[in-house]
Amino acid sequence: MNKEQFINELKQLKIICTEENLEKLNLFYLFLIKWNKKINLTTIIEEESVYLKHFYDSLTATKIVDFNNVEFVLDVGTGAGFPGIILKIFYPHLKLTLVDSLLKRVNYLKLVIEELSLSDINVIHSRIEDLNKVTKTKYDIVISRALAKMPILIMWLTPYISKTGKIICMKANVEEELKQSQDVLVANHLKISNIMSFHLPYEESIRNLIEISKIN
pLDDT digits (tens, 9 = 90+) for 122-151: 999 999 889 988 888 999 999 999 778 899
Sign of the four-CA dihedral 137, 56, 110, 130: positive
pLDDT computed for residue 203 by the predictor:
86
Q: Name all domains of the chain by residue range, CATH numbers in brackets.
A: 3-214 (3.40.50.150)
pLDDT (tens digit, 9 = 90+) per residue, 151-202?
Answer: 999 999 999 999 999 999 999 888 889 999 999 999 999 999 999 999 999 9
pLDDT digits (tens, 9 = 90+) for 8-62: 999 999 999 999 999 999 999 999 999 999 998 999 999 999 999 999 999 999 9
Give me the pLDDT at residue 172, please.
85
Amino acid 136: pLDDT: 87
- Position 11 scores a pLDDT of 97
DSSP symbol at 190: E
pLDDT band at 216 (very low <50, low <70, confident <90, very high): confident
Rounded CA separation 70/82 (Å)? 18
CA 170 – CA 120 distance, rounded (Å): 23
Q: Is the pTM of this model over 0.85?
A: yes
Helical residues (DSSP H) of 91-134, grouped into ranges: 103-115
Helix ranges (H only) for 94-206 are 103-115, 150-157, 175-180, 182-187
Structure confidence at residue 200 (pLDDT): 94
* Buried b or exposed e, range 109-130, using 16+ CB within 10 angstroms: beebbeebebeebebbbbebee
Question: Residue 190: what pLDDT?
Answer: 96
Task: With a cut of 90, say whether residue 116 has pLDDT above it.
Answer: yes
Mean pLDDT of 79-100: 98
